Amino acid sequence: MFIEMQRGRSFGGLTRYCLGPGEAQVDDRVEFVETRNIATRDPEAAWRVMAARHYMQDDLKAANGIRRGGNGRPVGHMFISWGAEEAANQNLDREAMLTAARGALEAIGAEKHQAIVIAHNDTVENNPHCHIIVNLIGDDGRLKDNTDEKKKLSRFALDHETLVHGEPVVRTRYRNWEDRDAGETPAPVKKKARHLYELEKAAKEGDIAPDEAMRMLGQQRLMERDKQRFEETAKSHREKLQWCREERIRRIEKETKASVKQIKTRTRNEYREYRDQLHDHQFWERGEFNDNEKSIRGSLENAVRLVDWNSTEQRGMKMTRLFNLVVSEKTRREEMVLRQQWERDELRRQQREAEAKQIGRARTEQKDRIAEARKRYLEKSEQMKQRQEAGRDRLKKRQQSITKERNAALSEFRVQQRIRKKERAEERQYIAAMTRENQREKTEDRDEETTDGGSGRSRRPRRERDPRTSRRKRQQRGETDQQYQERAASNQNQKGQDRDQEPDR
């Protein structure tokens, strides 16, 4: 079983693709359609109901007290496919496909979400598959979380295969989960590009020469290598330019830091001389104060000197202050100490102001230099961006030329693929019609036997099945239904020719 989940934005586009004729233009490729959690069985009406919920998402959030925003991609596209041998071993039918679809939805927590299941019958390799269109918006308007969605689907596929077949079918998936259960991270699996798949298959089918296919594959590999080298070089250049900008800013900040340190050292050295002079002057003032305190006249002189007559205080307050200084030696000494401390603090304040002024100029110069560096970075970045865009345009034109050549070479292969898909779909439809006809005939036979059961007539003899034509025998021989039909038609023609050649009796 192969299972994959993608997210998109258009319910109508995805539904029209699943219900439409597809690439092979097969008109009747839809095997069946089933809706879930939607009050309609019409897929055209169902996807419109799902789209309506998307349009009303903000209103649903507001009604449930959830803030708006974070709507994201609301369309979930799940794809489930079975291999031909796997489907034959489990007798895959509609109910089995719907059971797998329900299990996959439950695995990712979307069993209550709106969904449309559409099964197709147009694969050339006879791989039954179905598409599941899921509305990822819940009833409250919130988008379903997609945490570990891929791992959950992988685990479901492993458990489902084990339940149905008794053992895992996809061995790689089984080994990866053994590694995960053992605490190891399995190697990532990279899907093969479509152009590589088409070229390899076209060469295998004979629609293109193997040498031509190898040449195109080599050409595309060379193109991919050049793209990778270009992107690595472009990334290296962007990182180098960004590093240069950051390095220039770091150098400017380092130079500014050193300049600030020099400014502080220079300013402190300049003011150290003023501090020394102030200390000498205050030392002389303290000596003179002590000498004056030895006499009454000197005490009065100290008191008058300690009053600041130029201050804005009122005259009465100044006289009161003078009186207190005259009568108390302790007050005079305290006032002198406060006066000298204020002078030292004032000098410190002037020093800090001078430092701040010069440091402010250095900081402003730093900002201007950083702004200039960023401006130059933006200019160079824009120039680099233009050069890289021109390089990408050249690579794009080269890729377009390669793609055009490849499409021209694969045109016949794609036509044949569409024809094979259409033939396979018609064959499946024919087999389904024949099966329904056989079931109808058996039902009529049973009804007829039941009707004639009490009439006393003998029962209709049952036709024995030819062991050479049973489906199981044909599968053992590796013969498809189309090959069997061709062989049966050939045998019938041969019998008709034999009868024509027999002599009349």
Among candidates 126, 120, 129, which has minimal Cα distance to 32?
Answer: 120
Q: Which domains does the chain have, with CATH numbers?
A: 2-191 (3.30.930), 193-425 (no CATH)
Among candidates 100, 99, 128, which has minimal Cα distance to 30?
Answer: 128
- Cβ atoms of 14 and 133 closer than 8 Å: yes
**Residue 477 is encoded by which pair of tokens?**
């021989």
Per-residue pLDDT tens over the stretch 65-124: 888 877 789 999 999 999 888 888 888 889 999 999 999 999 999 999 999 999 987 665
Q: Is pLDDT at 460 greater than 60 in this prediction?
A: no
- C-alpha 251/C-alpha 153 separation (Å) is 53
Greatest CA separation for the chain? 176
Per-residue pLDDT tens over the stretch 326-349: 778 888 888 888 888 988 999 999
Instruction: State the amino acid at position 456 in one-letter form.
Output: G
**Residue 441 is encoded by which pair of tokens?**
């005939």
3-state secondary structure 231-281: HHHHHHHHHHHHHHHHHHHHHHHHHHHHHHHHHHHHHHHHHHHHHHHHHHH
- C-alpha 242/C-alpha 248 separation (Å) is 10
Give phi and psi for 132, each to the nearest 5.
Answer: -120, 115
**What is the gyration radius of the CA atoms in the chain, in angstroms?**
47
pTM beyond cutoff 0.85: no
CA dihedral 245, 247, 253, 256 (to 10 degrees): -100
Q: 456 versus 256: which is more confidently predicted?
A: 256
| % of the chain at pLDDT higher than 90 | 41
Residue 4, beta-bridge partner list: 79
- C-alpha 98/C-alpha 386 separation (Å) is 53
Q: What is the pLDDT of residue 198?
A: 82
- C-alpha 306/C-alpha 329 separation (Å) is 12
CA dihedral 364, 367, 372, 374 (to 10 degrees): -170
3-state secondary structure 13-26: HHHHHHHCCCCCCC
